[in-house]
Amino acid sequence: MQDLQSKVSRVALVGSGAVGASYAFALLNQGIANELVIIDVNHQKAEGDAMDLNHGLPFSPSMKIWAGTYEDCGSADIVVITAGASQAPGETRMDLINKNSRIFKSIVTSIMDSGFHGIFVIATNPVDVLTYATWKYSGLPASRVIGSGTILDSARLRFLLGQEFNVDSRNIHAYIMGEHGDTELPVWSNANIAGLSLMEYKAQHGTPTDERLDEIFIQVRDAAYHIIERKGATYYGIAMGLARLTKAILNNENSVFSVSSLLTGQYGLDDVYIGIPAIINRDGIREVLELNLMEDEREKLHHSATVLKNAIASLEL
């Protein structure tokens, strides 16, 4: 552990839009990495962000920050990709598939040409499909290609349940699984409040009703649409999630996140990247966890996987 902590850690960020810039700001504030290189097709924007962030260094942990090129990825521990077309009002994440898959082929090829052998973290939508594409384009082991998956959806669920129960959301464990999108599902059977299962809580308190839980899930599933309607894009929440995931990787934490992972038989599914709880450490995905799902949850997960597989099949990989 000491060797890991003393090693200079470099994060390469590809995409300096709202999500990327928010992620960079979170990294700096929390002092997660030693070096951050920002890469963007608009190099001036990357330079501007690097300058702006550097001016905050007197108030933050030390970090070397600069605007660079794909060549800088060769020495990176993690490459985080947030680049690509963003979701417009009325547009689903899956609508972005053709636009962003073309962009990704160029990006990933350029990164691998630098000699990169670290870990990819993908946040661009549709994240599950683009994570699968990155795995194929890169040739890296699947354990080293991670999508942000349903980390944000799960955080939204924990936040709303915390409000419902008047309990700190950090003491609530609950997962959204499946596609980061319209076919995702809440795993109520495995949700708990400080060790007390959701079903036990309902039995003791008489609340929340099943109808109320359905309302909470719909709020989670449709949250991005509501935020986009109000401010044009979502970026703070996912940036915080990406920063937390980066910290878990660099610090070899063996922490659990609902990330987009390649399934190889788990849950009766294979050859698909999908949001599933997994143990994350310095090597990437150490293990995909196979939860004991209710039959209806398993059916919904399989439906979500089918949607993703069809989307993947439409790509030229």
Catalytic residue annotation: 180
Q: How far apart are CA 102 and CA 191, in angstroms?
A: 38
Q: How far apart are CA 300 and CA 315, in angstroms?
A: 24
- Rounded to 5 degrees, φ, ψ at 280 are -115, 130
Q: How far apart are CA 245 and CA 258, in angstroms?
A: 10
Neighbour count for residue 2 (Cβ, 10 Å): 6
- Rounded to 5 degrees, φ, ψ at 154 are -65, -40
Q: What's the alpha-carbon Rg for the chain, to the nearest Å? A: 19
Q: Could you give the C-alpha distances from 86 to 38, 75, 162, 181, in angstroms and in order?
A: 19, 28, 30, 14
Strand ranges for 241-288 from DSSP E: 255-264, 270-281, 284-288
Q: How far apart are CA 311 and CA 274, in angstroms?
A: 12
Residue 252, sorted as left (phi over 0), alpha (psi -120 to 50) or beta, turns out to be left
Pick from 314, 312, 278, 306: which is nearest to 133 by CA? 312
Pick from 154, 166, 214: which is nearest to 194 by CA? 166
35 DSSP β-pair partners: 10, 64
Q: How far is CA 147 from the centre of its chain?
A: 5
